[in-house]
Amino acid sequence: MRSLAVSFVLSFVFAICVPEKAHAQCTNYTITVGGGTFDYEVDWELVNDMGVVVASGFAPQTVAVCLPNGCYTMYMYDIFGDGWNGATFVIRVQPGNTIVSSGTMVNNNFGTAQVNLGGGCGGGNCSNYTLTVTSGAYPTEISWNLISGVLVVGTGFAPSSQVLCLDTGCFVMQLFDSFGDGWNGATWNLANSLGVTVGSGTLGTGTIGQQIIDLSPTTPCSASSPIVASDCAQSVNICTNYNWSIDPNGIGSVNEIPPLGSIGNPNLIPDLVPSAWGSDNWGCLRNNELNSTWMIINISGGGSLEFTFGGFGSQAGFYDWIMYPYGVGTCTSIVSNTVAPVRCNWNGVSFGGTGLAAAVPAGGDPTNFEPALIVLAGQQYVICFSNWSSVTTPVPLEFGGTATVSCVPIILPLELLSFNAAQRDAEVELSWTTASEQRTALFQVERSRANGDWVTIGALAAAGQSAQPIRYVFVDQQPQTGHLYYRLRMIDMDGGSTFSPTAHALFRPVGPSVFPNPASGSFWVRCGDEAIHLIDAFGRSVEHHVIAVSGDARQIATDGSVSGVLTVIIGNDLTIRQERIVLR
């Protein structure tokens, strides 16, 4: 259980000063960290591209810095290991007070975020783009993510103007509104280094939406329009597509949907047979395949999948649909009536859109929507869309939820669900879970001290082939004191390899510790609730005060006049322990 012993926190403002001469070569910024439920668990470091820490601190806190243009990394730590619980970092350029970078960490004890100051991340494999989010009527309700595959490359709030260094490829802009009524006039715009807009949009209504950004110079991200009158075998990979048209086109070459009431086309009359996913709508394709269009959805990032056909008031008839898991042999399985749908809907009304939704969108009707589907990266689904009303009209398709989609299949030889590191007594335990594996051979475990010098410290054999979750555990029996970083080199049977995300552990010697040592100005004592006394080399008590608390550690400061060797006495009577520290 999380301790609630800390009943208050203090907010500090620090200034990191540079020589007057350097001001001409740097820009003034403020870094604000905090605003979460458990700010005392948070600490952070801002590191330049040479690996040097240029700012650091805790939460809640605002730090003023003067920094040259460059590509920085924000290292985020949480001592409890459950993320920042709503705390964020926000970097603003001064005196304009404009947000130039922001972010948070979710469900982990360590995370990183790119901080691009003055376009310093340009060159190499990426180019600079400026992402601007305007205020709208209610900016405090707005947040957003920019996603490439399964990686969050940018995150923030409103108003915001951030320079991001982006590689070529397909990106997803996820839009969130905490009130659920859209962005109320706020917009987003992504422009390249020449100021040319390459993507823009808004959240018209609801809580969650997402839009595709195409930065691919060759293969376009947006799929071609689905082929009308098609069969399952001609299904087209599709993502967000506003140019898809339907018309009365028949059933293709083969009538593939099984009879109503079968495994592949359930008959879900209200209050008689609820669906396997819990809804109580009419069922699936009650007229079987009619004016059909087949399409494939490729999952590039796991989460909650939501989509809407015919939203924004554009629905012009009954848009019935059925959705199956997709893979080799799926089309044959549908015809042979051996595969069940994961979702389907026989529209109750001919307006307001239809699809998957955690909450029915504004203007929609519950009879047209099914619950969101939890999906994993690499999965595929095929949808047969039925134009029951035989109308000729464009049908906008809008994706939402936290899952992301791709217009090409995603091939994952190994799907890593989690990777964590945590101190266990005098060791560090690493654990990771795979959702599936294909031809995996070996996991090499590598460790670093944040300087980029990775060292292999061990290995574990992989399962080779698995469609079920597998949990692995590796123990670092000789960890070094301080911040440690771990990653996995995942090697397949062909010799190819990829790296996992980085996991972090703060390793402290068992029992109370004093760090850093030597120290300048202030230092930390890991002591829990025990008393602390400082004694100088002559046995005299040294005045000190606590300036910050983070978990079981306290940050101690003297009046600045003391230097040399001090004895730190922790506890009272029979529980006394002593350690020495050098103050410079």
Residue 485 near residue 502 (C-beta atoms within 8 A) = yes
Residues 6 or more apart whose CB falls under 8 angstroms from that of 552 comprise 526, 527, 528
| 292 and 421 share one domain | no
- 8 A C-beta contact, residue 231 and residue 256: yes
Distance CA 500, CA 442 (A): 13
Same domain, 423 and 333: no
Cα 247 versus chain centre, distance: 39
pLDDT for res 29: 94
Tokens of 261: 């009431």
What per-residue confidence (pLDDT) applies to 294?
92
**CA-CA distance, 378 to 436, in Å (whole number)?**
10
Same domain, 402 and 453: no
Q: Are 503 and 421 in contact (CB under 8 A)?
A: yes
Encoded tokens for 89? 């970092």
What CATH number does the domain containing 518 carry? 2.60.40
For position 278, which CATH number holds? 2.60.120.380
Cα angle, residue 18 at apex, residues 12 and 24 outer, rounded to 5°: 125
Quick one: tokens of 429? 């335990």
Residues 6+ positions from 25 with CB-CB distance below 8 Å: 68
Both 104 and 246 in one domain: the answer is no
Check residue 187 and give its pLDDT: 95
Share of the chain residues as helix, strand and coil, in percent rounded to the nearest 5? 5, 50, 45
pLDDT at 228: 64
pLDDT of residue 500: 82
In a domain, 195, yes or no: yes
Closest by CA to 94, choosing from 119, 132, 63, 130, is 63
Domain end, chosen from 507, 538, 565, is at 507
The contacts found for 360-369 with CB under 8 angstroms, 24 or more apart, are 361/205, 361/206, 361/308, 361/311, 362/181, 362/182, 362/205, 362/206, 363/205, 363/313, 364/308, 364/311, 367/281, 367/282, 369/345
Q: Which tokens is 358 given?
A: 């955690």
Evaluate whether residue 453 is within a structural domain.
yes
Domain-located, residue 98: yes
Beta bridge partners, 582, equal 565
Domain span at 143: 12-164+174-179+187-201
C-alpha span between 59 and 140 (Å, rounded): 20
Same domain, 382 and 423: no
Regarding whether 351 and 244 lie in a shared domain, the answer is: yes
Residues 487, 520 within the same domain: no
Q: Is residue 219 part of a domain?
A: no
CA distances from 298 to 131, 221, 335, 392, 579 (A): 26, 12, 22, 27, 58
Helix (DSSP H) and strand (DSSP E) numbers for the chain:
1, 46
Residue 238 included in any domain: yes
Are 497 and 517 members of one domain? no
Q: Is 253 in the same domain as 400?
A: yes
pLDDT, residue 257, reads 95
| Coil/strand/helix, residue 495 | coil
Q: Examine the domain organization and report whether 56 and 77 are in the same domain.
A: yes
- Cα-based angle 300, 236, 254 (whole degrees, multiple of 5): 135
Q: Do 191 and 49 reside in the same domain of the chain?
A: yes
pLDDT given at position 452: 61
Tokens of 398: 């809008």
CB neighbours of 272 closer than 8 A, spacing ≥ 6?
none
Judged on CB neighbours under 10 Å (0-12, 13-18, 19+), 426 is exposed
Residue finishing a domain among 381, 406, 431: 406
Is residue 52, in this structure, part of any structural domain at all? yes
Two tokens, residue 284 = 């699936």
Judge whether 454 and 487 are in contact, CB under 8 Å.
yes
Return the CATH number at 475: 2.60.40.10
How far CA 229 is from CA of 97, 291, 333, 450, in Å, comes to 55, 6, 20, 57
- Please indicate, yes or no, whether residues 158 and 255 belong to a single structural domain of this protein: no
Determine the pLDDT at residue 20: 38
3-class DSSP assignment, residue 80: coil
Backbone angles phi, psi at 151, to 5 degrees: -105, 130
**Domain edge (last residue) among 459, 484, 507:** 507
pLDDT at residue number 571:
75
What pLDDT is stored for residue 58 in this prediction?
Answer: 87
Answer whether residue 434 is part of any domain.
yes
**Strands in 336-410 per DSSP E:** 343-345, 354-356, 369-370, 373-375, 380-387, 393-394, 397-401, 404-406
**What pLDDT tens digit does each residue of the chain (584 aa) get?**
233 333 233 333 444 433 333 344 899 999 999 988 888 888 898 988 777 889 988 888 899 999 998 888 888 888 777 788 888 899 998 988 888 888 788 766 777 788 888 878 766 667 888 889 998 999 888 888 887 765 667 777 888 878 888 888 888 888 888 887 889 999 999 999 888 999 999 988 777 777 888 887 766 666 545 556 578 988 888 877 656 778 888 778 888 999 999 999 998 876 566 788 988 888 899 988 888 999 999 988 778 899 999 886 788 889 999 999 998 899 999 999 999 999 999 999 999 899 999 888 878 999 999 999 988 777 899 999 999 998 888 888 888 888 888 877 876 677 788 888 888 888 899 999 988 888 889 999 999 876 567 899 999 999 988 878 899 999 999 887 677 889 898 888 877 777 787 888 877 666 657 888 888 878 988 776 778 889 888 888 888 988 888 767 889 998 888 888 888 888 765 556 778 888 88
In a domain, 3, yes or no: no
The number of folded domains in the chain is 4
**How far is it, in rounded angstroms, from Cα 450 to Cα 486?**
10
pLDDT at residue 226 in the model: 58
